């Protein structure tokens, strides 16, 4: 008779909607206990209810990832409450789009604070319990903007590009500890963020994508689910681009 392996615990930031919610559902479907993190408790409760209705396990934790102290405290609490932390998915992010000559210091700094520094803080806090558990998966959600740039998104592209160097550095530092770190870089995905784009912009984006469509949050979630799995133990320091072929070369 073999012992039942313990349930792995995952944190997903920005889990209240869109890609983050889809990732949380996918990880729960793998049998993980998923801790949903976002600023909106009401929306988190809705995702938690969806997961539990499908037979999964989830809990919620309202937190602003741009608040370094609160984010560190939240991750420490999860690790303490569950006596482990195995998977961290940094999905939370904001945009403050503007053309370079019009972009203010505040617009630049706000995006960097949430989309890059917040990820650094979360990873640093999560690595301690992962090292104690001698197993870990870090998946940072990037963007094709971080690979090729995008007009009007100097701040966003800078943050997402910075994720690449951060993640690869973590991968090298933590490889001997059985902790992997990877980036998933989505292209245009059907989310609240892209829903507000003018139809002309949507049409141009679809036309620039070889598959001629936007991706679905579930397609990003499937990539994250693989990288968070037991089978992905030999994959680290990589960027998995899920963009319909937009950036193929």
* Residue 33, strand partner residues: 9, 57
Question: Which strand (E) or helix (H) includes residue 140?
Answer: strand 136-141
What is the distance between the alpha carbons of residues 14 and 3, in angstroms, rounded to a whole number? 34
Contact by Cβ (8 Å): 58, 33: yes
Residue with tokens 């959600």: 141
If one counts every other C-beta atom within 10 angstroms of the C-beta of residue 179, the result is 23
Q: Is 226 annotated as catalytic?
A: no
What is the distance between the alpha carbons of residues 138 and 130, in angstroms, rounded to a whole number? 10
What is the distance between the alpha carbons of residues 6 and 81, in angstroms, rounded to a whole number? 15
Determine the angle formed by the axes of helices 105-112 and 154-174, rounding to 10 degrees: 30
Q: Is 98 helix (H, G, I), strand (E, B) or coil?
A: strand
Q: Report residue 159 as tokens.
A: 């943050």
What is the distance between the alpha carbons of residues 227 and 138, in angstroms, rounded to a whole number? 8
Catalytic residue among 108, 156, 188, 214: 156
* Residue 181, strand partner residues: 138
Residue with tokens 């932390």: 85
Q: Report residue 38 as tokens.
A: 């976002």
Active site residues: 156
């Amino acid at each position: 008779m073999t012992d039942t392996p313990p349930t792995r615990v995952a944190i997903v930031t920005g889990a209240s909607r869109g890609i983050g919610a889809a990732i949380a559902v996918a990880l729960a479907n793998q049998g993980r206990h998923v801790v949903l993190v976002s600023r909106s408790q009401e929306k988190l409760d809705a995702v938690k209810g969806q997961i539990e209705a499908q037979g999964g396990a989830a809990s919620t934790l309202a937190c602003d990832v741009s608040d370094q102290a609160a984010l560190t405290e939240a991750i420490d609490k999860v690790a303490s409450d569950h006596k482990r932390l195995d998977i961290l998915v940094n999905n939370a992010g904001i945009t403050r789009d503007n053309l370079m000559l019009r972009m203010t210091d505040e617009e630049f700094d706000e995006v960097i604070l949430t989309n890059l520094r917040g990820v650094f803080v979360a990873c640093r806090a999560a690595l301690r319990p992962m090292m104690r558990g001698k197993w870990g998966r870090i998946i940072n959600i990037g963007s094709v903007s971080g690979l090729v740039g995008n007009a009007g998104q100097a701040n966003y592209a800078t943050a997402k590009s910075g994720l690449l160097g951060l993640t690869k550095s973590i991968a090298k530092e933590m490889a001997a500890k059985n902790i992997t770190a990877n980036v998933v870089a989505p292209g245009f995905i059907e989310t609240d963020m892209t829903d507000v784009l003018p139809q002309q912009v949507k049409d141009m984006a679809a036309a620039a994508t070889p598959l001629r469509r936007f991706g679905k949050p579930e397609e990003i979630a499937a990539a994250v689910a693989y990288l968070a799995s037991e089978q992905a133990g030999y994959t680290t320091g990589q960027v998995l681009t899920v963009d319909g072929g937009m950036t193929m070369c």
